[in-house]
Chains A and B, each alone.
Chain A
Amino acid sequence: MTSKDRRESHRVELLQGTLDLIVLRALSTMGPQHAYALTERLAQVADHSFTLNQGTLYPALVRLEQKGWIKGTWDKTESNRDAKFYAITKSGLRALEQQTARWRRLAGLVDKLLLNES
């Protein structure tokens, strides 16, 4: 593995948790969505402050599906196009709860640290 590889995998790892949480959250509030709709939603939530290569969503989706937290099924869109719709599962909802709580704790801790240091 070159040092470049390492840097990249490090970045993916950092993104991984957040991306998984965001996807789960989006699916739990919006109901079943296909990958394109999810990327649109992400851009919208982020207020277009970061651009996401839409392809990078796929590894996250397969990861979540393999963990049994989301489930994909093929269906038609409103425009009558084929698309794979992902829905959050029961264990996915439980995982979302845990992940959210964990994220909050972490964020709170980081916030506190940043406040104290400044």
Chain B
Amino acid sequence: MAPLARFLHRLLNVFRPGHAETDLTREIDAHLTLLEDDFQRRGLSADDARRAAVRAFGGVDQAREQHRDARSFRWIEDTARDVRHALRSLRRTPGFTAVAVVTLALGIGASTAIMSAVNPILFEPLPYPDAGRIMAVWYGAADGGRALQAFGTFRELQARSRAFEALAVVKPWQRAITGTGEPERLDGQQVSAGYFGVLGVPPALGRDFSPSDDRPDGPKVVMLSDAVWHRRFAADVSIVGRQITLNEALYTVVGVMPRGFENVLAPSAEIWSLLQYDPSPAPQSREWGHHLRMIGRVRPGARIDQAQRELDTIARDAMAPFTREPGSNMTRGLIVNALQDDVTREVKPVLLAVLGAVALVLIIACVNVTTLLLARAAQRHAEFSMRVALGAGRGRLTRQLLTESVLLAFIAGALGLGLAGAGVRALVALAPPGLPRAAAIAVDRTVFAYAFGLSTIIGGLVGLMAALQATRGDLRAGLQRGAWRGTGGQHRTRATLVVIEIALSVVLLVGAGLLLRSLERVFAIAPGFDPSHVLTMQVQLSSPKRFPDNAAFHRFYARALEAVRGVPGVVAAGFTSELPLSGDDGALDEYGVQIDERLNAAERVGASRYLVTAGYFELMRIPVRRGRSFDERDMAPATVRLILVSEAFAKSAFGDRDPIGQRVRFGGPPSRPWDVIVGVAGDVKQASLASTNASAVYATTSQWLWAETPLWLVVRANGDAAALAPAVKSAVWSVDKDQPIVRVATMDHLLSASEAGRRFALIVFEAFGLVSLALAAIGIYGVLSGSVVERRREIGVRSALGASRAGILGLVVRQGLTLAALGVAIGAGAAIATSRAIITLLFDTSPLDPITYAGVLALLLGVSAIACAVPALRAARVDPMIALRCE
């Protein structure tokens, strides 16, 4: 107990240093009085007795010190005193403190926010056990890219692959849930039975899908997410085995996934059901369409290249009994990626560029604070000289300056943490759609600790540098020379730092400029249709009871169009299965189109398949280059389909020959009659404005093999398209009020959203570029102001000797612009060397784009000139008499 009691007492005394001290003073005084009394009794005079008492006591100050050591924790007391002193000293210079704190906080906050966002996406393994073994397997597409898988290929790989211990295929699925509370449309996935096994996450409740259920006409079973289980079923554990209603059909709940389960392939998915495809799919059936994503888990110890080699072999050697469709013959092989790379593929270039930008900002922030601290140390030269003259040790001064820097870093760290929180929220809000693992993004404490530690160490180092510089040499001489003449070496250091700052700003601004130019270029591309005044929404038909056959579907669509066309303000309306720039390119149905005149029957031309209603080309204002477009005649069922193809398709299939009247075939059994091309439509950008023109074939919705759902409703308005949304929706619902309508957006919005990734990078680069520009301007201003003050006497002498105001103005501006020019030159070099890093984000813009470089150069020199102007004007106003007299 005694040691603890003592510890607490000592700690208490740290916080009330005066308390014990007063008591001790009184006690020592009493002690001395008693000694004095004794000495007087022994016959000494009053004065002698006092001296003898002090001698016998043996060092009052020493006793006090020892007492202080014993009763308290001295180092804490001293530190507390230093902190109080530092706070006072920082408060005396609010301008400096504010700029330094804000600069550092920006650096810490921005880098923490960006790293917090990037870390879970790019660097942390996916949230699955042994996630490194999970791969994505793609079909090698005609253009050398990747395509979705066909079910037949999945079956073959499942049987033949040894490198993969499990494989699964998955496709998007939406269902409206009814029965408990408000009807709600749920995102989900249809999966093959092994899906959760490949991910390695078993359900928390109930059981996983059983392979025996995954067959045509198998039991309707569903897996719930933890969120939907809580939201719709109040986390009732008896849900397993019960039936729920999805699109008016009953599904039995087999299990509930755990709370933390992240479904990286479709983060919004909340329900899962089985694909229940035919294990030996019939030729030309839906199962042979390329519409499935495939993932697989390789055996422990198997490497990605081994898996790739094995799949190469399988792809090359067809083997009975595995049949292959002409469109799925794997002539271009299969592509194996780590699932992590796969999920982050789209955003990786953006995130890496942003990461680079934030690193530059952090460096600039540190450089800026360094220059500020150096300037401050120079200004306090007189103060330090005075204190050394008064007997303060060099160690004491160093310690105090260090305390000041560390304190600055701490305040900035606290502010930076707040900024990081706000920054993470802003990033998630601004982030391009489809950002993987967005749910996992939160302020990362480890990252904050790094950013904070880094800036604290920098604060400490800078403080130390400033301290060493301030106490270097003969401070007494400094005192005599006057406070305001800093040393030349110090000035050079600051000038160097400003040059570095400018150079780094150039790198950031060039990045921003190149991205801006790329965006301009991208938006200058014609999408192939007229996006203005167009409203779009997805209409999903769901109820099997109300739509027993295809005719019922087509009747609904026809009546819905009629109703929508009747809405005031609607110029035209139509349906399409694929909407350009909707972001659905991954789900786009790719078909191998067989061409009649080609002798080799197995040869196909890949094309995206669009199902549209009559008048679609006029509605979208897609030009019809040859032949005719679809009209109402084409909406009637027909044995020979009349189709349109895109220009790109016509060129790749027929070269320069006339495609009109040519016969092609895609989808359906091989015995189907040939389709006849009646028109050629202009090319349309489907995936993004920057994408190449994809081959496309168009058929009407009602002549296709099955009734496609969902379809996109496209409405052209004569005014504000967005304002029509409620009226258009109720027009559709006037036909059937139970059909879900989702993803309502104007085409203009989709157009700008399609460039969200590039735009996001641009916003970050612009923001950081502007911050760095401001910091660089502050840096130039600071150095020049300091230099003008230091050279006041020289300027005074010059103007006394007849130098004109303009001459002095020029002198200062020249000094500033020399720094700026040097910084710009170095920065341009650095930008040339580093702008290749964002080359994947650039579009039709050279990383050496001269206009960008010229613009950044002009901007920086202009801002620098403004930053020079204030100190220059101040210098020009120096009164020679006052300047000379004040020495």
Contact = CB atoms under 8 A, between A and B. Distances in A.
Contacts of B63: 53, 55-56, 58-59
A62 B67 CA distance: 7
B34 A67 contact: no
A67 B67 contact: no
Interface in A47-82: 53-56, 58-60, 62-63, 66-69, 77, 79, 81-82
B231 interface: no
B31 A54 contact: yes
Given A53-B59, A66-B9, A91 B70 contact: no
B30 A91 contact: no
A34 interface: yes
A66 B30 CA distance: 21
21 contacts: A34-B30, A54-B35, A54-B58, A55-B63, A58-B27, A59-B69, A62-B67, A62-B70, A62-B71, A63-B6, A66-B5, A68-B1, A81-B33, A81-B34, A81-B37, A82-B33, A83-B27, A83-B30, A83-B34, A84-B26, A91-B2
A71 to B, nearest CB: 12
B6 A84 contact: no
A69 to B, nearest CB: 7
A77 B69 contact: no
A84 B62 contact: no
Contacts of B822: none
Contact of A84 (B5, B30, B37): B30
A95 interface: yes
A54 B66 CA distance: 12
Interface string A81-112: 11110000001000100000000000000000
A106 B226 CA distance: 69
B71 A36 contact: no
Interface of A: 34-36, 53-56, 58-60, 62-63, 66-69, 77, 79, 81-84, 91, 95
Interface in B39-93: 56-60, 62-63, 66-67, 69-71
B60 A55 contact: yes
A68 B59 contact: no
B94 interface: no
B2 A58 contact: no
A104 to B, nearest CB: 20
Contact of B35 (A36, A58, A60): A36
A56 B1 CA distance: 25
B3 interface: yes
B762 to A, nearest CB: 57
A83 B38 CA distance: 15
A67 B71 CA distance: 11
B58 A67 contact: no
B6 A59 contact: no
B57 A53 contact: yes
Contacts of B71: 59, 62, 66
- Chain B contact residues: helix, strand, loop or mixed: helix
A38 to B, nearest CB: 10
A82 B69 contact: no
B465 interface: no
Contacts of B2: 67-69, 91, 95
A9 B701 CA distance: 95
B878 interface: no
A36 B23 CA distance: 16
A58 B6 contact: no
Highest count of chain B CB atoms <10 Å: which of A54, A79, A82, A95: A54
Q: What 7 A-B pairs come out closest when comparing CB atoms?
A: A55-B63, A53-B58, A59-B70, A66-B9, A67-B2, A66-B6, A59-B66
Nearest to B13: A66
Contacts of A62: 20, 67, 70-71
A82 B26 contact: yes
A67 B58 CA distance: 26
Nearest to B34: A36
Nearest to A40: B38
A64 B10 CA distance: 12
Contacts of A34: 30-31, 34
Contacts of B70: 58-60, 62-63
A67 B3 CA distance: 6
Interface in B191-235: none
Nearest to A74: B26
Interface string B1-34: 1110110011000000000100110111011011
A54 B9 contact: no
Nearest to B33: A81
A77 B34 contact: yes
Contacts of A36: 31, 34-35
A21 to B, nearest CB: 14
Contact of A82 (B9, B30, B56, B58): B30
Nearest to A53: B58
Nearest to A69: B2
A58 B66 contact: yes
A79 B62 CA distance: 28
B3 A55 contact: no
A81 B6 CA distance: 30
B5 A56 contact: no
B504 to A, nearest CB: 43
B56 A84 contact: no
A69 B3 CA distance: 11
Contacts of A91: 1-2
Given A66-B5, A67-B2, A69-B2, A58 B58 contact: no
